[in-house]
Structure formats: structure tokens, C-alpha cells
Amino acid sequence: MTRIERIDVQMVDLPPAAVRVDAMQSFVKQETVLVTVHTSDGLSGTGYSYTIGTGGRAVMSLITDHLVPALLGRDARPVEALWRHMLDQTRATTVGAITSLAFAAVDTALWDLRGRRTGESLWRMAGGAHERLPVYDTEGGWLHLPVEELVDGAKRAATAGMCGVKVKVGRPSLAEDAERLAAVREAVGAGFEVMVDANQAFTSAEAIRRARTYEPLGIAWFEEPLPADDLNGHRRLAASTSVPVAVGESLYSVQRFGDYLAAGAVGIVQVDVARIGGITPWLKVAHAAEAFNVAVSPHFLMELHVSLAAAVPNGMYVEHIPQLRAITRSSLVIEDGHVAPPDVPGIGIDWNPDALDDHRVA
Amino acid sequence: MTRIERIDVQMVDLPPAAVRVDAMQSFVKQETVLVTVHTSDGLSGTGYSYTIGTGGRAVMSLITDHLVPALLGRDARPVEALWRHMLDQTRATTVGAITSLAFAAVDTALWDLRGRRTGESLWRMAGGAHERLPVYDTEGGWLHLPVEELVDGAKRAATAGMCGVKVKVGRPSLAEDAERLAAVREAVGAGFEVMVDANQAFTSAEAIRRARTYEPLGIAWFEEPLPADDLNGHRRLAASTSVPVAVGESLYSVQRFGDYLAAGAVGIVQVDVARIGGITPWLKVAHAAEAFNVAVSPHFLMELHVSLAAAVPNGMYVEHIPQLRAITRSSLVIEDGHVAPPDVPGIGIDWNPDALDDHRVA
């Protein structure tokens, strides 16, 4: 038995380097909650989750008030049982974002610990399906940028060897969205993927109308076209267009993904390891998607998702948004438009203690 | 313009008088978060929400960190716009229990304020469909009680003139559940409703099997038979049995209720005004249910739900669990098995400041 002896919880803020504006929000903070679990055999593992600016202290409260007391003294090894135990302690606060983010930081720490104990990387523990995966870029595609900058961003991503670029949509008129996308397509040529992301801006009817204009541009996917919870809207949209419907960053339970898969409402699953509640449920979603012949291209959290997406056969692309640069000594290398998962024990993130001290807010 | 000038937030703990055990949990705390909104015209309104023991501090954090700053200085009157503004501030923490509970306390305070400003009761503002509604009892039906106490509890509810009693199910064997229900049915006779509540204990297959044994007993509904998020399971169960499927206390968005209604997965909507995020979304769920010819019998929070259930044409029963007795000077009167909504300005709850002081934990 390797008993959980101490759990440290802290929060750092990692403001994005550039302003980010999409159809729903702009954000200037990234509260990053870190949990470190120490065990009786002298090991420790660290996990994390994030907010885009609201709820960090609520996540901290759930962890310190309820999860830490529920875990101290327990065997750290059976992560599925521990996840279930966390759920039992907090059931009436689930389903939901805040609770999932709290679970995720703890669950990821337990996986890190498992890898450090057994000497295996997360990528291998979780399946090890691919040695590397292609990367696409999001940093140059924000909604507030004028079309010239959008085109420049796409060209930069292409020059950097990435496989594609994501462009935010949701400008007031369909014509303006279409014009911006056409300019990007013309600049990058046919052999480069262009994804679009509406950040939940549309009604189903409007999304169906806009999707038709994306089809001739060979758009790779239409991300978060509708309020994430609108199952029937996604089903209707997916049935109406040849553009794959990408959804999942704002779904908070394995069962919810089951609904979308069963309804044919999702073409590309974008499950987010923090928002789904950790690695334990993330893998279930990926495996469920495989059962439906649906690919997984996870949302954000590149440093962790590279290991998870590469671990499963249906892993597709990794989204390039370096999030942890300021607080880690490790970094991912993009070669030939691809990124390889770290193959060191645990989740493969080398935290920088001094930098954590500098960024700590709680 | 009646400007929001100050918002007070506090939390009291109201431990249940009796131990409560169901198929999923037992609980000994009721964290009750209260929000009072003060406006420039000298009025104030108070709303509240609750947890069953976990997450109270997280709810408080969301309110004080994000909702209060977003609301101060605004016109208190347009509650729909204010609800949407709260959502915009915290979108990436939604959907979910913690965020909904935070919204609910604020939204309910704004409705209380609206009623106090206009001189109308919540019941009238929300529609005023019924002058009174029948009441059923839950206090005598807990899962840990031996069958004799269960029977006594049901008899007490019948003697008190209530219309029915809710009995928890989910004992290990189907036979034991059936035996307990048969004893209750025999004790109360045919003219009294018996509801059963599994608190999400079963798989769909097991729920279908158990429901068949409830049918000959004339059970009024089968509440939370499955994990609340299992849409397809509820749909299959509802299609398989004549016992109405009651669900909703653990659903956290209007859209989610839309899914259940569209799928025929719910026979009785049990939307909870705290967990759905306040009166504003509660009414939308009730109205959507009406569009599907589905009744609403809300979960818990009797003191507030009596006004809401009586306000809408499809309001059905009120669940009798006095929750606020220790901290209020008002109380609901049951007459002839029915309860009438308060007809005073606002939500009709007369808080006791001294008692609030005594129970305050934050």
C-alpha cells in the first residue's frame, strides 16, 4: 500500500500572452490549479486544471474542503476507485464544470504518481497508439483580428509546418465570416486544413445556413457551432452538412458524450481532460468515441493532451496553444508539423518551482 | 432605474432534524446560501439556495468573486438580462451544479425584489394558475428505516391528510424493495399515492426489471431511477413501463430538460429552482414541460416551490420537507392535504434575523 500522506493545493495565474476574443468571450486570465499528492513511499505526483478566468477559488474550495479530506490516508493506486470515491463525496455538486475541474487536478496527480511509481509515461500507460500526432494552430485565428492579420497568422502556421489553423467565426454577418475564411483559404492553398470555431454562438438554423458556405472551402470541422448543451440542435446540424461537427470542450460527463455519440450529433470529439474530470473519464470518452468510429481531437491543454491523444487509436490532431511555458522546464518540440508525447515516467511535465512561486495567487 | 447598491452574502447550516439515507448518500448538513440585494430605492430582496453538505464555500466564492462585481451598479429590474449577464461572466463554469446554485440565490433575490417593488407575490408574478396544490410527504420513507417504521411513516402522512408518501427504493434485492412497498400499500389502502425514489441507483436494465414489480402496486412515479445524466436509459425505461418516470432534481440546464422532454424520457419533471439556477430558468423548464403535456412536481425547497408549482398550469404536487423552519417566521399551513402559496409581495418568506445569526457559518 502506498498511502496518501499529504496533498498540496495551489493556484497560479497564467495570463495569455495575446488577447483572445471569440464569439462568446475574451479572456485575460488562466487560473491554473495544481494539486500535488505525496505518498508514504516517498513519491509525489502533480496534476492540474484551469479556468479561463472565473471559478478558480471555487475549484480550490471543493478540493480543499471535500476532496483532500476524502483522500488522505487512502491507498493512492486504485485511481478508478478513488475517482468514484470523490464522486460519492460530492455527488450533488455534479454534473458540472467546477466539480470536474476539481476532480481533474486530483485524478491527473494520481496518474502522474502511478507513472512515477511504475516508471511508465502517461502515453504508454494510456495505450501508446501513436508515436506522434499532427499539430494545428489556434493562436492566429481570433475573432477580433482584421482579415489581414488572420491571413498572416494562417501563413505563419503553415510556414511553421503545422497541419492546419483554426479560425474563429461568429461575426455578425454570414458574408463577413465567409469572406474571412475565403481569404485564409486562398492564402494557405488547398493542402492545409482550416478549422472554424463558433464558440457556441449560433442557433441550429443559423449554423446550418453558415455551414453550407463553409463546404466549398473544404473546412476541416465546425467547432462548437451551438450552445454546447443543445443535443438536438447538434444532431440536426450534423445531419444537414458535410462539414464535421466538432464538440466536447464544454461537456462535463462521460454520459453526455454518450448522448452525442448515440445521436450522431458529433463528428469529432473534443473532450478536455480538465473539464471532463481527469484522465480516468477522458479515456472512457475516447474509447466510447472509438466504438462509434469517431475521432478525438482534444481541446487546449496541449502539454497533457499530446500524451492522451497519441495514446488512443482514434487520436487525431493536437491543438497548439502552449499554456504552461512560464511555469515548466519541459517543452514540446514540433518537428515536421508533428509533436511527440513525452516518454518519461508520469505525465511528463517538468514544473519549475521558482516560476510557480512567482505566479502563485492562492 | 433602481440601482443595485449592495449585495450581502451569507451561509447558514440547517442540519436535518432526522438522519436521511437514500440509495446513494446520507446527509447531515444543509448549507443554505442567502443573498440579499439592496437597491437605490431603499428596497431589498433575498434569495437562497442549498447544498446537501458539500460545495457551500465554492458557491459562496462564485457569488462573491464574480457575480457580485458583475451586478453592482446595474438596474435590478431586467432579471432576464441580469441572468444572461451572470452567464456571460462565468460561461466556462457552466453547465453545472455549483454555478447554478450561485445563480439561483441571486436570481431569486432579484425576483423577491421585483415582487416587493411591485407589490405582487411570486405566485402571481409567475402566473397564479392554482390557488393551492396537494402535498405529499417524504420524511417517513428513508431507505435505512425498517419496514415497520416505513409503514408508520406512511400512515402518519395519510392521517395528516397528505395525498401521498415517497418511499426510497434501492435495497440490494428486488424482493426486499417490493416487500417494503407492498407493506406500505397495504397499510395506506388504494386511495393514497405511493411514490418511489431510487436516487440514481440503478442501471437501465435493472430499473426496467424493478419497475415491473411496482406496476401492480399502482406506484405514482419512479423517481431518479438511473444516473441523472443517462438520457437514453431514461428513454428506454419510460418506453418499457406504465409507471411514470420522474426526473429533474439533478439536471442543471433548461436545454437538458429539453432533451429529456424531446426524447420522451421524463413523465414528471422535478425541476429544482436552486439547481436549475433560479426562478428565471425554472419557469422556462415548466413552460417547456407544458408544451410536452408533462406535469411538474418540483424537488425539495417547499417554501419556494409552492409558489412556483402553483403558478403554472402543469404544477402537480408539492413535496413536504420543511427546510427553513429554524430561520423563518413564516410557515406554510397544510389544510385538507393542500398547501396555498403565500400571497404577499415577493417570494413570501419571512426570514428571522436572530435565527440567521445563530445558524451562520460563513
Q: What is the pLDDT of residues B214-245, one digit of tens each?
A: 999 999 999 999 999 999 999 999 999 999 99
> Nine-digit cell at B91?
460561461
| Residue B24 pLDDT exceeds 90 | no
The reported pLDDT for the residue numbered A96 is 96
The reported pLDDT for the residue numbered B82 is 98
Q: How many CA atoms lie within 13 A of A211 on its CB side?
A: 26
In this structure, what DSSP letter does residue B121 have? B
The reported pLDDT for the residue numbered A149 is 95
Helix or strand holding residue B49 (H, E): strand B44-50
Q: Which of B61, B99, B255 sits opposite A96 (nearest CB)?
A: B99
Kindly report, residue by residue over A136-147, the tens digit of the pLDDT: 998 888 899 999
Contact A25 B255 (CB under 8 A): no
| Residue B26 pLDDT exceeds 80 | no
* Cis peptide bond upstream of B95, omega within 30: yes
Beta bridge partners of B315: B296
The reported pLDDT for the residue numbered A29 is 85
Distance of residue A250 Cα from the nearest chain B Cα, in angstroms:
7
CA atoms of B353 and A213, how far apart (whole Å): 60
CA atoms of A301 and A248, how far apart (whole Å): 14
Kindly report, residue by residue over A294-314, the tens digit of the pLDDT: 999 999 999 999 999 999 999
Kindly report, residue by residue over A24-37, the tens digit of the pLDDT: 777 778 999 999 99
Q: Which of A52, A65, A231 sits opposite B57 (nearest CB)?
A: A65
* Alpha-carbon distances, residue B348 vs A234, B32, B39, B274, B332 (angstroms): 41, 17, 19, 16, 10
Q: Which residues contact A354 (CB under 8 A, 6 or more apart)?
A: none
Provide mean pLDDT across the span A35-62: 97
| Residue A45 pLDDT exceeds 80 | yes
Residue of B nearest to A24 (CA): B88
Contact A98 B58 (CB under 8 A): yes
Chain A residues in contact with B203 by the CB 8 A cut-off are: none
CB burial of residue A274 (10 Å; 0-12, 13-18, 19+): buried
Torsions phi, psi of B318, nearest 5? -110, 135
Measured CB to CB, residues of chain B less than 8 Å from chain A are 24-25, 51-55, 57-62, 65-66, 88-100, 227-232, 250, 252-253, 255-256, 258-259, 262
- Dihedral over Cα of A201, A204, A206, A208: its sign: positive
pTM of the predicted protein model: 0.94
For domain B4-119+353-359, give the CATH number: 3.30.390.10
Give residue limits of the domains in chain A: 4-119+353-359, 124-339
Whether A29 is catalytic is no
Chain B residues in contact with A255 by the CB 8 A cut-off are: 227, 229-231
Beta bridge partners of B47: B35
Beta-sheet pairing, A164-168 with A133-137: parallel
Quote the mean pLDDT of chain A: 95
> Nine-digit cell at B251?
439536471
The reported pLDDT for the residue numbered B59 is 98
Q: Which of B25, B52, B262 sits opposite A232 (nearest CB)?
A: B262
| Residue B361 pLDDT exceeds 80 | yes
Return the exposure string of B189-201: e unless at least 16 CB atoms fall within 10 Å of the residue's CB, then b: eeebbbbbbbbbb
For domain B124-339, give the CATH number: 3.20.20.120
The reported pLDDT for the residue numbered B1 is 81
| Residue B16 pLDDT exceeds 90 | no
- Tracing cell 431569486 back to the chain, one arrives at B108
Active-site choice (B166, B234, B299, B305): B299
Whether A168 is catalytic is yes
Kindly report, residue by residue over A91-104, the tens digit of the pLDDT: 999 999 999 999 99
CA B59 to chain centre: 17
CA atoms of A219 and A221, how far apart (whole Å): 6
Residue B356: which pLDDT band, with cuts at 50, 70 and 90? very high
CA A237 to chain centre: 23
The reported pLDDT for the residue numbered B308 is 98
Quote the mean pLDDT of chain B: 95
Kindly report, residue by residue over B116-146, the tens digit of the pLDDT: 999 999 999 999 999 999 999 988 888 999 9
The reported pLDDT for the residue numbered A85 is 97
Interface test with B, best of A52, A91, A232 (most B CBs within 10 A): A91
The reported pLDDT for the residue numbered A1 is 81
Residue A225: which pLDDT band, with cuts at 50, 70 and 90? very high
Q: How many CA atoms lie within 13 A of B330 on its CB side?
A: 14
Whole-complex ipTM: 0.91
> Nine-digit cell at A77?
493506486
Helix or strand holding residue B211 (H, E): helix B204-214
On whether the CB atoms of residues B341 and B121 are closer than 8 A, the answer is yes
Task: Give CA torsion, residues A181, A185, A187, A188, to 10 deg.
Answer: 130
Kindly report, residue by residue over A153-176, the tens digit of the pLDDT: 999 999 999 999 999 999 999 999
Q: Which of B59, B97, B259 sits opposite A94 (nearest CB)?
A: B97
CA atoms of A100 and A298, how far apart (whole Å): 16
Angle at A314 between CA A312 and CA A318, to 5 degrees: 80
In this structure, what DSSP letter does residue B289 have? H
Provide mean pLDDT across the span A62-85: 98
Provide mean pLDDT across the span A350-358: 96
Provide mean pLDDT across the span A107-125: 98
- Tracing cell 392554482 back to the chain, one arrives at B130
**Residue among A229, A230, A234 at smallest CA distance from A244:** A234
The reported pLDDT for the residue numbered A17 is 72
Kindly report, residue by residue over A239-275, the tens digit of the pLDDT: 999 999 999 999 999 999 999 999 999 999 999 999 9
